[in-house]
Amino acid sequence: MAARFVGEAFLNSALGTIYDMLISPLIVNLIQRKKLNRKLVEKLETVLKAAHAVINDAERRQIEEEAVKHWMDRLKDVVYDAEDILDEVTTKAAIQKVQGNSLSRNVNLHGDDEIVTKIEDIIAALESIVNEKDGLGLKEIPVEDMSWRIPSTSLVGVHQIYGRDQDREAIVKLLLDVTNDGGISVIPMVGMGGIGKTTLAQMVYNDDRVKQKFDVKAWVCDGQEEFDVLKVTKAVMEATSSSCNSTELNKIQESLKEVLAGKKLLVVLDDMWSNNYDAWISFLKPFKSSNGGVKILVTTRLDSIADMVKTIPAYHLSLLGDDHCWSVFADHACLNSAEPHIRSGLEVVGRKIVKKCNGLALAAQTLGGLLRARKEAADWEFILRSEIWEFPKKDSGILPALRISYHYLPSYLKRCFVYCSLFPKDYEFERDELVLLWMAEGLLQQPNSSGGTLEEVGYKYFNDLVSRSFLQHSETDENSFVMHDLMHDLAIFYGGKFFCRTLELKTADKHEAYPRHLSYSLNIRDSLSKFLEACDNLQDTRTLLKINAGIRHDSSKKIDPCRLLAQLKHVRVLSFEFFPRDHNSLPDSIGDLIHLRYLDLSDSPIVTLPESMCKCYNLQTLKLSDCERLEKLPSNMQDLVNLLHLDLSCTAIEVLPESLSKLHNLQTLKLRECENLKKLPSKMQDLINLHHLDIEGTKIEEMPKGMSKLKDLQILCYYIAGKHEENGIGELGGLVNLQGLFRLKKLENVVDSSEAWKARMVDKKYISDLRLKWSSGEDSDIVDSQIEKDVLSKLEPHNDLKYLTIKGYRGTVFPDWVGQSRYHNMTELELNGCRNCLVFPSLGQLPSLETLLIAGFDKVKMIGGSFYKADATHQHQETPFRSLKYLSFYQMSCWEEWESYECDDDDDAPFPKLEEFYISQCPKLRGDLPTFLPSLKKLVISGCEELGCYVPRAPILRSLRISGKQEARTRDLPLSMLETLVINGEQLVNSLFEAMTHTQPTSLIELHISECSSAISFPGDSLPPSLEVLLINDCKNVEFPMQHQQHESLISLTINNSCDSLTSFAFPAFPNLKYLTIASRENLTSLEVSQSQSLKELWIEKCPKLENITRLPASLRELKIYRCQLLGEGIERKDPHIWPSISHITYIKVDSQRIPSNDSSRYVKGEILACMNGSNKKGYLFRMRCPKLSAKWYNWFLRFEKQRRSISITGDIVAEVWNRGIACLSSCWDV
């Protein structure tokens, strides 16, 4: 019946919802059962229809007629009230229908008489409003066809950028130009809204030349009328991977100044509006003393802003030419997909539409998206002739093209789009979170008869808005989305007084009605009390949404949440963390919020939830993530019959109540990192609608019985194979919809291959990443190999698998399916800890395999021809490993031989695309590696003492790392092309120096040599001319090259327990040296580095006789002294013979003590973050050991852990960074 209200207006969707509620069986039955006046409901229906008849005309005219807009606002207010009272009636009817439910006795609902009175009041208000329509001249007009829906797709394409190549080159040139004084250069880019400033800035920011030029890049979206120096400075700080939680601008700027010392910095400040000169000057303070060079690209619409910030003339961005604007439009309209004869006809009309875009890229892009699904000329003519083009902008500043695009949105998309106005400009949001909010607000239509969920409906809406360019992908996070600022303005315009953000609410007229939807962001300067002062009257508010979670409010104010909840009688979305630390639970009044659909208490200090919360009958989403003190849930959770999503991640929950299993509508249950949780409810199988179960990071050791009944389950991070049939591997057979990553643990419990077959892994076509794991144990050698093979054989996955890991397999051979070419999508394969295996499976014919990791095969002695091809005959098969890019062998203790692959010419050789090759801890391996690797860029060999000719022909090899006792033949070292060379071992170092006498390493940038006791010298007593980084470790007799001419390339030098003959450290030959480390120099008594005028950091360690350092350069910013007793004592007492030489240095540290000691905790944190800088990519593990770490910093680490891969805190002083399982000591310090 809601189809009666198909039309363009924003109100149509709400009216359709009300009408559906009026005719729903629940309300009809309630009226009959209570003997209420049916005529009352019919009267409401009649007046709603009368209002609806003129809505299309009112929606169109409200843009230019203030009286009509006021009429529409009054109508919306009454419609909101009608929705609320009917929602209460529906809730009452639904609760009374559930026999024996405790809710029917406990929920606080209005009585029948009061409900009737409210409906009568609403009808009277509606009648009054409808009676005014004639005076306004509102007429019933035909409903235009609004089915301009774009076919949905799960992927959104990336569109080409047109007409900005010259602009990009000009801006890049300005950024790359050298600033003579190494100071600040500000380049303003000026252009009107929608012209493409942000897009151009993004092109420049991601240009490879720019990436190479700058050490640090930061992208900051401003978008606010007031320039928030603190916010913008923190954003730049975070771009350095040195986040700071301080709320004091001075401290943050001091830290930023230290981090950026000597580094080249690029800041893009996008969409600047403020002309506050004092704030701008304050923002620049940390950059003024940087002699590395700072470039700031500012995008703005205002010439006055450009004049204020510029150090060079502003770059004015011109409008797109007609042809380029047409290219943008045609691209977004997918015109190329049309038939040629249709395309030519549409182009004539389309170019006329593009003329009206006036060269604005956003306008062309949006209109192209609008017409994307329409390939009839009449539709394009309809848009061309639309009278909306002629509407004046007035004070709204909304582009006509954007108004047209909004006007022709389906009504259900209009409400969803306008709802996004609650987010601040440039706010990055996630699809799933936004869909849950839409669902809670009732903005999603019920799925049609073909099935599906409300969330799936929401995803279709979302993808539609993205396809139409109302929402855009974020440039900084692939999983996030943003709104263009003009689209944000459009959403705010159409949201009107009903949608508000706290910043605007603070300045609103006290007598103006308060909004129905309110979002708030408690930044550093806002206390909660100020926020509540602006919200004295929230009884009609439906939404109270917290934005940018994680920023703490002023905890000095004690606010009782009862005060807030008492006002929110109609709230549907509630998100807050307003509790004082001494509040352990929500107030019981939470149960009075009968309209509540979405409750987010994340990061709050609650320990328990009141039983009354289960009276929230309509609650759909409950988020309790990061409530680190939360220990238990209410016992009567079964009363939350409409709960769909429950997030308990990172809580202290120990036991889940059995009543949780009665939530038959629950779709998502997140228990990630609930470290105290050891088991799931015994009747989990009753959650028949569960789609998503996240138990990662829990202590669960056994699955509950009957999991096969959860047939809709899609996301399950792992399953533990039990020993009994009811929780054994066979239960997986019913879970045919599993998708994404799936791990199968404790496969040692599977002793019958028939049980493995029941899992039906071969049918699970949506699993893309499968990880099979057997637990290691003392009995792993005592197994029946045939049974093990049969079990793995029955776990054969679907052909579409992309990633496969097999760990701890206990058989001696692999089943045939492993490595078969039918796995055409498999790109990554890991075989690890298969200790009993005697031979590798044939893997060379996997057509798409890019990454292969093999480790822990203790009994494999040879790799033969079968490794490359299954039949080892090389007949009628493709080039082995034709797509492989990354190959690693690790801990192969018995591997002795790698049989060469015979082929007629290099074109048929295996590994034609291999780029990185690691081979480590294979002590018995002899002979040769593959002889020709044409694409190899990096080779790492360690712990392979018997390996002979280990450097293959690799014409583009750039990085070589070799350690061991074996001898290298000089011809095997491709010195002329290497950029990074790491050599560890006496014979290897000798071979290197010999090779360097014959071949000059002209491209070498980084050189490490270690563990050589021979008395040798660098060839020619000089360093390679291109060298920037040199590390000499445990080479006591190596002669350091004191060059006779300057070596300008060297930037970093480390000498550790090496070069005993070196007694002077003046280093006049290295004018650009920035980082110097000297360690384990037992006889060093003094140090002078005055001639190194570029030196930034000096680290001195284990030099017990060193008493003095003199004439340190003015450029030095950081000095660290470790285990140098004489020097350390002199610095600590500020010896007059030492202190004058070092007092100018910003950061001085002696062992664990900073000199002078100012707020040491801040510097501890800064040093930790500095150590982690650059080590935040997937796959890294960081550990810090510190026995005296305070609870404050411990909690900070816990929050940091959720953003990084892993952090653990134990009891010594070591920092380690791990990548691909290979440990590399990064830094050590005391705290």
- Are 210 and 262 part of one and the same domain? yes
- Are 171 and 110 part of one and the same domain? no
What pLDDT was estimated at residue 988? 87
SS3 content of the chain, % helix, strand, coil (to 5): 35, 15, 50
Return d(Cα 976, Cα 973) in angstroms, integer.
9
Is 1057 inside any structural domain? no
User: Do 490 and 469 form a contact (C-beta atoms < 8 A)?
Assistant: no
Return d(Cα 120, Cα 456) in angstroms, integer.
37
In 385-533, where does DSSP find H-type helix? 400-407, 411-419, 431-440, 454-467, 485-495, 502-505, 528-533
Give Cα separations from 1112 to 1093, 1097, 1185 (angstroms): 9, 11, 33
Is the per-residue pLDDT at 1171 higher than 50? no
As beta bridge partners, residue 105 has none
What pLDDT was estimated at residue 1213? 28
Burial label for 105, CB within 10 Å (0-12, 13-18, 19+), is exposed
User: Do 1216 and 1183 form a contact (C-beta atoms < 8 A)?
Assistant: yes
| Residue 1167 tokens, joined | 């040093």
CATH number at residue 220: 3.40.50.300
Return d(Cα 197, Cα 317) in angstroms, integer.
7
- Are 125 and 169 part of one and the same domain? no
- Classify strands 897-898 and 1153-1155 as parallel, antiparallel or unpaired: unpaired
What pLDDT was estimated at residue 450? 64
| Residue 387 tokens, joined | 């009278």
pLDDT digits (tens, 9 = 90+) for 904-933: 777 778 999 999 999 999 999 988 788 889
Directed axis angle between helix 66-97 and helix 25-34, to 10°? 70
What pLDDT was estimated at residue 159? 64
What pLDDT was estimated at residue 730? 95
Q: Which of 1204, 1202, 1230 is nearest to 1215 (CA)?
A: 1230
Return d(Cα 730, Cα 725) in angstroms, integer.
7
Is the per-residue pLDDT at 749 higher than 90? yes
Return d(Cα 463, Cα 449) in angstroms, integer.
21
Return d(Cα 665, Cα 688) in angstroms, integer.
8
**Which DSSP state fits 486?**
H
pLDDT digits (tens, 9 = 90+) for 95-147: 877 655 554 545 555 566 777 788 888 888 888 988 888 888 888 765 544 34
* Residues in Cβ contact with 835 at an 8 Å cutoff, skipping those fewer than 6 apart: 780, 781, 810, 856, 857, 858, 859
| Residue 1119 tokens, joined | 């000095």
Is 1005 inside any structural domain? no
Q: Which of 214, 315, 314 is nearest to 266 (CA)?
A: 214
- Are 125 and 174 part of one and the same domain? no
Return d(Cα 1097, Cα 1076) in angstroms, integer.
6
pLDDT digits (tens, 9 = 90+) for 865-881: 889 986 655 455 688 99
| Residue 644 tokens, joined | 């769909």
Is 498 inside any structural domain? no
Is 875 inside any structural domain? no
Report cis status (omega within 30 of 0) of the bond before 1156: yes
Give the H/E segment covering residue 1054.
strand 1052-1056
Give Cα separations from 1110 to 1051, 1062, 1106, 1114 (angstroms): 21, 18, 11, 12
- Are 312 and 186 part of one and the same domain? yes
Binned at pLDDT 50, 70 and 90, residue 1223 comes out as very low
Number of Cβ atoms within 10 Å of the Cβ of 1210: 11
In 112-223, where does DSSP find H-type helix? 112-130, 165-176, 197-205, 208-213
Q: What's the average model confidence in pLDDT over 359-369?
A: 80
| Residue 135 tokens, joined | 């005076």
* For the chain, percent of residues with pLDDT exceeding 70: 78
Is the per-residue pLDDT at 851 higher than 60? yes
Return d(Cα 615, Cα 73) in angstroms, integer.
33
Is the per-residue pLDDT at 1203 higher than 70? no
Return d(Cα 340, Cα 1110) in angstroms, integer.
80
**Which DSSP state fits 1172?**
H
- Compute the half-sphere exposure of residue 967: CA atoms within 13 Å on the CB side of its CA: 3
Return d(Cα 394, Cα 411) in angstroms, integer.
24
**What phi, psi does 32 have (nearest 5°)?**
-65, -40
User: Do 813 and 792 form a contact (C-beta atoms < 8 A)?
Assistant: no
- Are 126 and 214 part of one and the same domain? no
What pLDDT was estimated at residue 813? 95
- Are 123 and 212 part of one and the same domain? no
Tokens 């080159």 -> residue: 169
Q: Pick from 277, 294, 316: which residue ends a domain?
A: 316
- Are 72 and 174 part of one and the same domain? no
- Are 190 and 84 part of one and the same domain? no
Geometric angle at alpha carbon 50, from 49 and 55, rounded to 5°:
90
pLDDT digits (tens, 9 = 90+) for 217-258: 888 877 666 788 888 888 888 877 666 667 778 888 888 887
Higher-pLDDT residue of 1146, 881? 881
Binned at pLDDT 50, 70 and 90, residue 581 comes out as low
| Residue 749 tokens, joined | 């419990």
Is 1026 inside any structural domain? no
216-221 sheet: strands from edge to edge: 216-221, 265-272, 294-300, 184-190, 315-316
| Residue 1131 tokens, joined | 């610095």
* Residues in Cβ contact with 316 at an 8 Å cutoff, skipping those fewer than 6 apart: 190, 191
User: Do 1061 and 1018 form a contact (C-beta atoms < 8 A)?
Assistant: no
Return d(Cα 414, Cα 624) in angstroms, integer.
31
Q: Domain containing 1227: what range?
A: 1159-1231
Is 1177 inside any structural domain? yes
* C-alpha gyration radius of the chain: 35
- Are 86 and 222 part of one and the same domain? no
Higher-pLDDT residue of 121, 710? 710
Higher-pLDDT residue of 159, 855? 855
One-letter amino acid for residue 44 of the chain:
L
Q: Which of 566, 422, 574 is nearest to 498 (CA)?
A: 422
Is the per-residue pLDDT at 388 higher than 80? no
| Residue 695 tokens, joined | 């138990």
Helices (H) and strands (E) in the chain, counts: 33, 45
Q: Which of 487, 484, 439 is nearest to 461 (CA)?
A: 439
Top-confidence range, 338-352, 668-682, 1100-1114: 668-682
Q: Pick from 282, 316, 350: which residue ends a domain?
A: 316
The pTM score is: 0.75
What is the domain count for the chain?
A: 3
Return d(Cα 792, Cα 814) in angstroms, integer.
8
pLDDT digits (tens, 9 = 90+) for 211-226: 888 888 888 877 666 7
As beta bridge partners, residue 984 has 963, 1010
Is 1025 inside any structural domain? no
* For the chain, percent of residues with pLDDT exceeding 90: 32
pLDDT-wise least confident of 147-156, 207-216, 533-542, 604-613: 147-156
Number of Cβ atoms within 10 Å of the Cβ of 66: 9
**What phi, psi does 272 have (nearest 5°)?**
-90, 135
pLDDT-wise least confident of 488-497, 573-582, 793-802: 573-582
Q: Pick from 283, 316, 349: which residue ends a domain?
A: 316
Compute the CA torsion angle 454, 459, 460, 464 (nearest 10 deg): 140
- Are 171 and 300 part of one and the same domain? yes
Centroid of chain to Cα 944:
39
- Are 186 and 306 part of one and the same domain? yes
Return d(Cα 1102, Cα 1108) in angstroms, integer.
14
Is 94 inside any structural domain? yes
Give the H/E segment covering residue 305.
helix 303-309
